[in-house]
Amino acid sequence: MLLAIDMGNTQTALGLFDQDQLLQSWRMPTDRTFTKDEILVRLLGCFQMSGLALSCVDTICFAGVVPQLTREWRAVATQLGVRMIQVGPDTQMVTKVDAPNPAEVGADRIANAVAAEALYGAPAIVVDFGTATNVDVVDPRGYYIGGAIAPGIRISMDALTARAAKLSSISLEAPQRTIGRNTVEAVRSGTVVGAAAMAEGLVARIKDELGEPGAHVIATGGLAGLVAACTNVFDVIDQQLTLKGICEICRRLQA
């Protein structure tokens, strides 16, 4: 089976695939101090909790943004005696990237583009609500061509509460109205509805630039559902899109 790893700056998502079927998924923190042994302990715990054995894994496919942890995951694959594939350097022959410097494109963005084309068709726009809010654009040919990057919702919220003395930490929830009637409602409106309005504006501009008003719009990432409750700009919410893209890349490599 395939273990797909989507390592973001804050969280690492893991998905176990049998062919193209996602059997189980987990999340763990992305801690830059983790060693190979600490990753193995957490990985073993995830599998045991789900009644699975690590021995069922024969390939690890990895999309990550933290170089020192990439090395540790390679060491994990070596200890387990399984094949290790890194999205980007190892997969250029089966992905389509039209960028001035393809090496600069994040592995997660490549995986999102692959999954968007494979599952929903091209052209497509993916809005990924993670540590950063990434907007990934797939043109009518199926090529990733660029997009936009904005501060993530939690980063914005943390910065606001840290710099504004009268604001304490406020939980992230979708507000019932845009006009907040008190401070908590106002912050939630500005943060969550603001993220939805930003997505609406960027998507509209991107569709106009592409000349593709019918481009599919897909939301993914841990906070996708929260933002989607405040807008109808998304055609699909697929919180496992990046993992599915990693799986599709591996499938193409083995074809």
What amino acid positions are annotated as catalytic residues?
108
Nearest to 8 by CA among 180, 181, 115, 129: 129
126's CB contacts (< 8 A; 6+ apart) are 112, 113, 116, 134, 135, 136, 137, 138, 218, 219, 220, 241
- Quick one: tokens of 29? 């923190």
Output b/e per residue, 167-200; b: 16+ Cβ within 10 A: eeebeeeebeeeebeeeebbbbbbbbbbbbbbbb
